Amino acid sequence: MNLRQLALDALLLRSPGAKCRAVMGIACAGDNHEIAVPDLCRLASEALPGRSARPPLVPPAQVAQRPVSTLEGRAALIHSLAHIELNAVNLALDIAWRFDGMPDEFYRDWIGVAREEACHFNLLREHLQAMGFRYGDFPAHNGLWEMAERTADDVLARLALVPRTLEARGLDAAPLIRDKLRRVGDERGAAILEIILRDEIGHVAIGNRWYRRVCGERGLDPVVCYDELAQRHRAPRLRGPFNLEARRAAGFDAQELAALQAG
């Protein structure tokens, strides 16, 4: 089977559970899949990514902020994290099928990322269910996928602005959310955030490695190129506090971190 075709087919699945199971199946096959250009005929009639009817998608400003001191507030927070992780599954599948001409290792790397993101989603969904709620019970927004659409034509832009920007932001946010959950006694939620932070360092590192490799192949300075891509594709301006330790572990160098802190 063609790894990139399987990634596209999984991306088109609407059921979150079916999508995560498909990802696990692809990843479990290891290096046994061939890698070739996928058949895109389904895209004529099906939209990317495949989504279930719930949760309803609304503008970010309409996603209500609830206090985590209440059960519903904690559930809403866990739901928002689950939505982010499911979007991360979609993003990893999308980069694995979309961009031609990359080394086989590139596609295998992103299937590995998709597998870990699916694990994160399942952990959060199970925790949400233990709280008496289900994925889909709260509205969500589409910000992560919108950046995927803006960068659909250039693998360098995708690498710069999804793993190295939006997903790297999770390195900053995860410790704060973990501590917030711990303060209200949600030790299980805090433990899941520890797992997510550990794995996301590796995901961002993969993005950094491939970003630098493509910059090198194109003869581009990674720092200058990043600024240009961020402006061109309207990337959000990142604000502190920054988890510099995690960002260093994920491969950001001193020049990049200095530029980040300078704003």
Q: What is the pLDDT along the chain (263 residues), one digit of tens a residue?
A: 999 999 999 999 999 999 999 999 999 987 788 999 999 999 988 999 999 999 999 988 888 888 999 999 999 999 999 999 999 999 999 999 999 999 999 999 999 999 999 999 999 999 999 999 999 999 999 988 999 999 999 999 999 999 999 999 999 999 999 999 999 999 999 999 999 999 999 999 999 999 999 999 999 999 999 999 999 999 998 998 999 999 999 999 999 999 999 87
Q: Identify whether 3 is part of a domain.
A: no
Q: Identify whether 144 is part of a domain.
A: yes
DSSP secondary structure letter of residue 138: S
CATH number for the domain spanning 155: value is 1.20.1260
> Total domain count for the chain?
1
Q: Identify whether 20 is part of a domain.
A: no
Q: How far is it, in rounded angstroms, from Cα 161 to Cα 233? A: 8
pLDDT at 85: 98
**Chain centre distance of CA 9:** 18
**What is the extent of the structural domain holding 82?**
69-262
Q: Identify whether 57 is part of a domain.
A: no
pLDDT at 60: 85
pLDDT at 7: 97
Q: Identify whether 151 is part of a domain.
A: yes
φ, ψ for residue 88 (rounded to 5)?
A: -65, -35
Q: Identify whether 27 is part of a domain.
A: no
Q: Identify whether 124 is part of a domain.
A: yes
Q: DSSP labels for 195-229?
A: HHHHHHHHHHHHHHHHHHHHHHHHT--HHHHHHHH
Q: Identify whether 88 is part of a domain.
A: yes
Q: Would you say 208 and 251 are in contact if contact means Cβ atoms under 8 Å apart?
A: yes
